[in-house]
A and B are shown apart, each in its own frame.
Chain A
Amino acid sequence: MTKVKSLAELKAMKERLHSVLDVREKAENPESLVQIKVGMATCGIAAGAKQVMAHMMQKADELGIQAVFTQTGCMGHCHAEPTVEVSVPGRESVIFGHVDNNRADEILAKYIQNNEKVEGVIATNKTNQ
Chain B
Amino acid sequence: MSKYNTHVLICGGTGCKSSNSGQIYENFKTILGEHNLTDEVQVIKTGCFGFCEKGPIVKIMPDNTFYTNVTPEDVRNIVEEHIVKGRKVSSLLYVNPENNEHVSDSRHMEFYKKQVRIALRNCGFVDPENIEESIARGGYEALGKCLTEMTPEQVIAEIKASGLRGRGGAGFPTGLKWELCAKNKADQKYVICNADEGDPGAFMDRSILEGDPNSIVEAMAICGYAIGATKGLVYIRAEYPLAIDRLKIAIEQAREYGLLGENIMGSGFDFDIELRYGAGAFVCGEETALIHSMEGQRGEPTLKPPFPAVSGYLGKPSNVNNVETFANVPVIIIKGAEWFSSIGTEKSKGTKVFALAGQINNVGLIEVPMGITLREIIYEIGGGIKGGREFKAVQTGGPSGGCLTKKHLDTPIDYDSLVAAGSMMGSGGMVVMDETSCMPAIAKFYLEFTCEESCGKCTPCRVGNKRMLEILDKITRGESTMDDLQALRNLAGVIKDSALCGLGQTSPNPILSTMDNFWDEYVEHVVDKKCRAGVCKKLMSYVIDREKCIGCGKCAKGCPAEAIAKTDYTAPGHKLPSMEIHGETCIKCGACINNCKFGAISVQ
Interface size on A, residues (CB 8 A): 39
- Known A-B contacts A4-B257, A4-B259; A20 and B86 likewise in contact (beta carbons under 8 Å): no
Segment of B1-9, B184-192, B483-491 in the binding face = B1-9
Do B141 and A54 touch (CB < 8 A)?
Answer: no
Q: Decide yes or no whether B266 CB sits under 8 A from chain A.
A: yes
Which residues of chain B are near A72, meaning CB under 8 Å? 86
CB distance from A60 to the nearest CB of B (A): 11
**A110 an interface residue at 8 Å Cβ cutoff?**
no
Q: Is the Cβ of A1 less than 8 Å from the Cβ of B256? A: yes
Does residue A5 face the partner (Cβ distance < 8 Å to B)? yes
Q: Which of A11-19, A86-94, A96-104, A113-121 contacts B (4 or more CB under 8 A)?
A: A11-19
The answer to whether A6 and B148 touch (CB under 8 A), given A54-B5, A57-B3, is yes
A46 at the binding interface (Cβ < 8 Å): no
A26 cross-chain contacts in B, Cβ below 8 A: 62
Closest to A45 in B: B84
A41 contacts the other chain (CB 8 A): yes
Q: Which residues of A sit under 8 angstroms from B5, Cβ to Cβ?
A: 23, 53-54, 57, 69, 71
Q: Which listed residue, A10, A28, A61, A69, touches B135 by the CB 8 Å rule? A: A10
Q: At the interface, yes or no: B599 with Cβ under 8 Å from chain A?
A: no
**Nearest CB of B to A17, in Å:** 4
User: Is A107 part of the contact surface with B, judged by Cβ < 8 Å?
Assistant: no
* B63-107 vs A, Cβ < 8 Å mask (1 yes, 0 no): 110000000000000000001111100000000000000000001
Chain A proximity mask over B348-360: 1 for CB below 8 Å, otherwise 0: 0000000000000
A39 contact set on B, CB distance < 8 A: 86
A1 vs B259: C-alpha distance when bound (angstroms): 12
State the Cβ distance, B171 to closest chain A Cβ, in Å. Answer: 31
A123 close to B (CB within 8 Å):
no
Most buried by A among B86, B132, B147: B86
- Indicate whether A40 reaches chain B with its CB closer than 8 angstroms: yes
B132 to chain A: which residues have CB within 8 Å?
17, 20
Chain A 50-61 against B: per-residue CB contact (8 Å), 1 yes, 0 no? 100110011001
Residues of A within 8 A of B136 (CB): 14, 17-18, 20-21
Majority SS at the chain A contact face: helix
Instruction: Give Cα A68 to B203, complex, Å.
Output: 34
Assess whether B147 is in contact with A21, with CB atoms less than 8 Å apart: no
Contact, CB under 8 Å: A23 / B256 = no
Q: How far is the CB of A56 from chain B (nearest CB, A)?
A: 10
Report the bound CA distance from A116 to B402 in whole Å: 65
Residue from B4, B63, B133, B256 whose CB has the most chain A CB atoms within 10 Å: B63
- B138 at interface by CB-CB < 8 Å: yes
CA distance A72 to B64 in the complex (A): 13
Q: Given A3-B258, A27-B64 in contact, is the A10-B141 Cβ separation under 8 Å?
A: yes
Chain A positions within 8 Å of B259 at CB level = 4
Q: Is B86's CB under 8 angstroms from A7's CB?
A: no
Chain B residue nearest to A72 (CB atoms) is B86
Asked if B554 lies at the interface with its beta carbon under 8 angstroms from chain A, I say no
* Chain B residues near A41 (CB-CB < 8 A): 85-86
Given A1-B257, A7-B147, A54-B5, the answer on whether A70 and B86 have CB atoms closer than 8 Å is: yes
Report whether A19 and B3 are in contact in the complex, using a CB–CB cutoff of 8 Å: yes
Residue contact A23 to B266, C-beta cutoff 8 Å: no
Question: Which of B84, B126, B138, B256 contacts A14 (CB under 8 A)?
Answer: B138
Q: Which residues of A contact B62 (CB under 8 A)?
A: 23-24, 26-27, 30, 68-70
For the A-B complex with A21-B136, A27-B62, A57-B5 known, give 13 more contacts whose Cβ atoms are closer than 8 Å: A6-B148, A7-B141, A7-B145, A17-B135, A17-B136, A23-B4, A24-B125, A27-B63, A28-B64, A57-B3, A69-B5, A71-B86, A72-B86
Which residues of A approach B to under 8 Å, CB–CB? 1, 3-7, 9-11, 13-14, 17-24, 26-28, 30, 39-42, 50, 53-54, 57-58, 61, 68-73
Cβ contacts A to B, 12 pairs, < 8 Å: A3-B258, A5-B266, A10-B144, A11-B141, A11-B144, A14-B135, A23-B7, A24-B9, A39-B86, A61-B3, A68-B62, A71-B86
